Amino acid sequence: MISSSLDPVPLPIAAGSFLDRQKPQPLYRQIKSWMLQEMDSGRWPVHYKLPAEDNLARSLTVNRGTLRKAIQELIAERRLTQIHGKGTFVISSQQIEGQLADHLNAFSEELMLQHIPFRTEVLEQRVVVPEPRINALLNLAPGEALLHLRRRRFVNDAPIILTDNYVGLALCPAIDRENFTEQRLLSCLETRYGLHLSWARRTFESCTAGAEQARWLEVSVGAPLMYIEQIIYLADGRPVERSDIWIPGDRFKLSSIMARDGKQTLSNSLHESDFAATRAATNGAASNGCKT
């Protein structure tokens, strides 16, 4: 029997107790303010997947239309984003993300598909209590322990990737005793534990190597790296695995294949002059010392 700990962590609210129906402020505005507090406090970190709308509305004791109005305003303000069929996610208001792939393959599977030999070295494999952000992203209760797996992979005796994986123990009991030198993590989740890994969200960011990444990737401190954060979900929307991935900048190339169907998504009436006011406002804010 699946433990109740697999259910999403209950929201830190008591039946929408923060809502004041006597206030002149509309309920959706109160909900929006609460959501902003959750995001700004870090309780809902970037990439956090919100509960399903019907569950959240029920917890808040409001109808879905009221909740949806708050969500739509936060989407317009680039605090939330919705992925069709996947859910609503917290995003960074300071960054723009692009969807670069539509099929979930592990890095090792990509190497195998390209017939590139590699070997794996396990650097750490133990049960830990991670930082609260990781538990939040995996819908685990604060302080709940999980597997931390750190590995690096070599091609031609050169380390090409360093990964930190986090997996909850409720779905995968005894996973900390598996041999990940000989088997791949995603394959283990699917074959050993019978999980249906449905989809993942990946974000890409350039960074420089700190002392720890430099040590394991055998590069200089400050060397350019590609950093990838990945969260893998089951078909029912539950997150099952989160990864930090670092790849040396001179050992990684990102490519994509895109199609254009011939239909313009922007109106033909849009011209350069339409953006003049935006540029002027941005320049004015910058000259006043505002962050844009």
Write down the pLDDT at residue 108: 85
What is the dotted CATH code of the domain comprising 4-90?
A: 1.10.10.10
Write down the pLDDT at residue 291: 39
User: What is the C-alpha to C-alpha distance for residues 203 and 205, in angstroms, rounded to an integer?
Assistant: 7
Confidence of residue 287 (pLDDT cuts 50, 70, 90): very low
Kindly report the three-state secondary structure assignment for every residue of the chain: CCCHHHCCCCCCCCCCCCCCCCCCCCHHHHHHHHHHHHHHHCCCCCCCECCCHHHHHHHHCCCHHHHHHHHHHHHHCCCEEEECCCEEEECCCCCCCCCCCCCCCCHHHHHHHCCCCCEEEEEEEEEECCCHHHHHHCCCCCCCCEEEEEEEEEECCEEEEEEEEEEECCCCCCHHHCCCCCCCHHHHHHHCCCCCEEEEEEEEEEEECCHHHHHHHCCCCCCEEEEEEEEEEECCCCEEEEEEEEEEHHHCCCCCCCCCCCCCCCCCCCCHHHHHHHHHHHHHHHHCCCCC
Q: In the predicted model, is pLDDT for residue 71 greater than 90?
A: yes
Contacts for 26 with CB less than 8 Å, ≥ 6 apart = none
- The architecture in CATH of the region 107-251 reads 3-Layer(aba) Sandwich (3.40)
Percent of residues, the chain, with pLDDT higher than 70? 77
Nearest to 209 by CA among 196, 219, 195, 194: 219
Cα four-point dihedral sign 35, 38, 41, 43: negative
Q: In the predicted model, is pLDDT for residue 224 greater than 50?
A: yes
Mean pLDDT of all residues belonging to the chain: 83
Confidence of residue 48 (pLDDT cuts 50, 70, 90): very high
How do residues 179-204 score in pLDDT, each as one tens digit?
Answer: 999 999 999 999 999 999 999 998 88
Instruction: Give the pLDDT mean for 268-284.
Output: 56
Nearest to 106 by CA among 215, 50, 190: 190
Write down the pLDDT at residue 15: 46
Phi, psi at residue 28, to the nearest 5°? -65, -30
Q: Could you tell me the residue ranges of all domains in the chain? A: 4-90, 107-251
How do residues 237-266 score in pLDDT, each as one tens digit?
Answer: 999 999 999 999 887 766 665 667 665 555
Tokens 């790296």 locate to: 225
pTM of model > 0.75: no
> Worst-scoring range by mean pLDDT, 125-139, 203-217, 247-261?
247-261
Confidence of residue 292 (pLDDT cuts 50, 70, 90): very low
